[in-house]
Each structure stands twice: as C-alpha cells, then as structure tokens.
Structure 1
C-alpha cells in the first residue's frame, strides 16, 4: 500500500485528442486506460493531469478511475477560437479540489492558453497545493524561441507571482504539463525562472526548482527512453524532455511537505515505449510524475 503521508502528482499527454478533438480508436482508449491504471497502481499517483483529451475519451477513462476511488474532472473549456484539452483524476481519499480557473492571455486576435490552475487541499493536514497545468503549442505551429513562447513563460510566471502576493505564506506550487520546450529553453529557464540548481533555489525565494534537467539523456543503459517525448521525425535527436513538473521553493524549505528526490520522474512502461517509438502509433509521450512527503516533526 502507498503511504497516506505522501502525495504523487503525474502528467501525461495522451495524444488521444489534439486540440480537444478526438481521433482515438477503442484500442487506443483501452491502452490509455492501462497507462492510467499503471500510474495509480505502480506509481501511486494521487493526482493525474491528462492532456489532449476529449469528452469521448474521458468516458472510458472515468470508468477505470472510479474503480480505484478517483474522481474524474473535465477541464475541456473554450478559450477564444480553440479550447483547453486538459482533464484530471483525483484520489478523493487524500485530496480535495477546492478551486479551479483558466489562465489565458490575449495577444492581438489570438488567445494564448497559459495554464489551468487547480487548487487542492490535503485531507491529511489541510495544506493547500496550487497546480498550474499547461499544454503549450507544438513547435510545428509555434517554433522554438518564437516570441509567443516567451509570452507563455512570462504569463505563467505572472500567475505564479500573483498567487505569491495573495498568500499569507510562501505557497506550495507545482507547475506541470507539456511545454513543448526543454528545461533549458528560455521560456522556462529565464521567463518562468525554473532552475536546475537546487541549492540556489533553497536560498532564493523567487526561483522554482526543475528536477527534469536530469532527464535530458538516458539515465543508464537499462533505461529504454531518454526523455518524455519521442519525435519520430527527429534528425539530430528524437527524444526531448517537454513534459515536466516544476516546484516552488516551499517544497525545499518547508517543515510541512518536502519534495522527494528518490524518484525516476519518467514512467517508462515498456509497452508504451514500444508504441511511442512505433511510427504507426499515435502515442508519442511518456507520463511524468513527482512525489512529495509529509515532514514528520519529532518532539
């Protein structure tokens, strides 16, 4: 059994419904359901955010999640001429959803989908957690270092700063999603201020910690993957680390909850990796996750 004194957050771009329009088959929805079961039973994920979802895909996934006591929520909402394609499942024995809202930014006649903010409460001790769940545009439509990618980063950072100003103490924030940028790209490293330097983040309140720098290459020869996203048409590299979880300083300095460094971060299901590498398969992302632990105070 998984401990009630930890929480695991996960993200997976399912590839089932780009832009929220379903293109999935029955077999693909079954495979997606098996991935989610694996996240629940093998990883112990308590909150699972899902990208590229439609209402049709959510029906099958809801049936699976409810068998494990998880509530399922549609975040498919209209944003300008497009829509958010994010849904999420929550372990109702450990977490309660207290609030949610869309974060968008207008640029000319375009609506940029920055994130969905979901506020949670731990049922163990009442601690509030704030999630910013993002699925930023593909590089096919918004190329690397495009000005809009900087705008996405700046507006996400603005949303974080606004939350900090509203809070009585430094908040527990997790940014998670498919950014279609690697950890070293400026949208994340400069605009969001997500750092790989954990010691510097501990000393510097305004920085966030991004542990996914360590997944820019193969962890060992036994690992089948070298990132979270497999671009089948890549000429120099096929693997990228576009899917990430990024943590506010509170998870490194608080006496309430702390980030657990002992996890692999990318869930390498062998059967999913085979499909991700298969040019005939729609799947191209692996799930990513992270764990936090309740700090036990002695005396």
Structure 2
C-alpha cells in the first residue's frame, strides 16, 4: 500500500494530473488512499455491487477547483443470462462545461471471448446511453479504462464508433477519436509496446487494452476544449516500471495511460 500510495501521489502531484481513475481497488485500499491524499484532492469511492458476485471496483480522484462533481451512474448489460459491467458514468463541470466520463473495466478474455458477442453488447450499452442522454454535436464525452480489447476490435472500433483518423473525427460528430492505434508499431529497444504484457501471447505479447477515447468535440474544439494529441501516452516512468508485473509478483499488471485536455 505504501508503494501504491507513493505512485498515486507521484501521478497527482509530480505529473500534475487533475483526474485519475484507478481500477481493481478495494474498500480497504480506498480507506488508506483517502487518508494519504493531500489537500486539494477529492476522492470518489465508486465500488459497489452490480449484481450477484459482480462489483464495480473503481476509485476516482480529482483536483478540487478544476473539476466540480455533478453525479454518477452505473451502466450494466445483461447478455445471455449474465450481467456485465459496461461503465461508470461520471459527470463533471470543467471550465463551465459539462464533461461526461464513461470509465470501464470490461471482463477478462477468459470470461468473455473476443468472438462471443458479449463485448459488442457491453459497448452498445455505452453508445446507447450517449445517444439517448447526451445531446448535441458539441458534447464532451471521454471513454476510458481497461477494455481487455484492442483498438481494432469490433467492440471498440464498431460499437463505440472509435476511429484512428483524427481529421475524419474532426468533421463528424458521430465518431470518437482513439489515439491509441499509434502503439502498434514495434519498439525495437525492447521497451513498452502496449499497456499490458501477456508472456504467453500468440502472435504478440504486448496488448493495447487501456485506452482514452474522445468525442468529436474534443478534436474539433467546437466547445473550447481540445485533446492535445501529442500528450497521449503510455506512462512508463521508472517508478511505474519498478512496480510493473511483467513476470509475476509485482504491484501492477497494466501501465497507466495519460492524456491532456487544454483550452483551444
């Protein structure tokens, strides 16, 4: 827990993050983190039951005075008799604008195979919620989390309408921009080539499971806020590397992903 809290402190203070989503966090972890957080941050314990033996396990930290929290909703999907977690929707005010986060931790590929249709239905729940509840071409929506799926898979590219083409998204309010396609080129130095390393992977061992995906308004800047495309990254600082579980026994098994939003 000391290592965990030190890394969170580093991300919030040294990296100056204003919003941080943490997945697979227990109630006990939340209690420790809440006591360790310094002045100027608020924490949302979003861990709660989503059905029989199914729990959301997320904690959200945001900087006071930057984001103003509005409300939160849980999105689930029942598919073929099983309940899945689609996302937790958090709504904030940022620069007098309403920003909607949909933070997801989709099931492991052990429990939902890439071709069984579950992920498409999970993703459609998010897409349908956005279509029904969030109106306007300038809507500010951010999809993020551990999808246990890569950017090219149907559930991400198709069901969430997440495109790799910046200029195409800029002119089409129905599309989302997914900048994490860029990590499919191989790093010959032997460094990080994805957010998750599976040592027994067939065809590839690095997977790009963790992503931050932006609605068109963050690309066109139509509302005054825009994603800084150059800032998007897998964060593999030495402090994270030391805690990363590539071969077993360490603290984290996913690298964090980061992005910056700025005024246009």
- Using the TM superposition, give the Cα deviation of residue 75 of structure 1 relative to its aligned residue in structure 2, in angstroms: 0.6
SS of structure 2 residue aligned to 1:261: strand
More strand by share: 2
Q: Does 1:293 align with 2:259?
A: no
CA contact (8 A) 1:231 1:284 kept: no
**Matched positions, count:** 261
Trace 1:37-186 onto structure 2 (pairs within 5 A).
37-65=9-37, 67-81=38-52, 82-122=54-94, 125-164=95-134, 167=135, 170-186=138-154
Corresponding residue for residue 173 of structure 2: 205
Long gaps (5+) in structure 2: none
Residues 1:215 and 1:42: Cα distance change in structure 2 (over 3 Å): farther
CA contact (8 A) 2:123 2:156 kept: yes
Q: Does 1:277 align with 2:246?
A: yes
Per-residue CA deviation, residues 116-173 of structure 1 (Å, 9 max, x unaligned), is: 0000002xx3111000000000011112222101111221211221233xx3553100
- Using the TM superposition, give the Cα deviation of residue 35 of structure 1 relative to its aligned residue in structure 2, in angstroms: 2.0
- Using the TM superposition, give the Cα deviation of residue 279 of structure 1 relative to its aligned residue in structure 2, in angstroms: 2.1
CA contact (8 A) 2:43 2:60 kept: yes
CA contact (8 A) 1:266 1:288 kept: yes
Long gaps (5+) in structure 1: 1-28
- Bigger RCO of structures 1 and 2 (CA < 8 A, at least 6 apart): 1
- Using the TM superposition, give the Cα deviation of residue 71 of structure 1 relative to its aligned residue in structure 2, in angstroms: 0.9
- Using the TM superposition, give the Cα deviation of residue 233 of structure 1 relative to its aligned residue in structure 2, in angstroms: 3.0
Residues 1:293 and 1:155: Cα distance change in structure 2 (over 3 Å): same
Corresponding residue for residue 24 of structure 1: none
- Using the TM superposition, give the Cα deviation of residue 85 of structure 1 relative to its aligned residue in structure 2, in angstroms: 0.8
Q: Structure 2-normalised TM-score?
A: 0.92
CA contact (8 A) 1:115 1:134 kept: yes
CA contact (8 A) 1:245 1:290 kept: yes
SS of structure 2 residue aligned to 1:143: coil
Per-residue CA deviation, residues 158-192 of structure 1 (Å, 9 max, x unaligned), is: 1221233xx35531000000000000111000111
Query: Which aligned segments of 4 or more residues in structure 1 are displaced greater than 3 angstroms?
Result: 217-221
Query: What is the Cα-based RMSD across aligned positions, in Å?
Result: 1.8
Q: Does 1:35 align with 2:7?
A: yes
Match of 1:230 among 184, 191, 197: 197
Per-residue CA deviation, residues 62-96 of structure 1 (Å, 9 max, x unaligned), is: 2232x141111111111111111111001012111
In structure 2, C-alpha distance between the alignment counterparts of 1:264 and 1:252, rounded to whole Å: 13
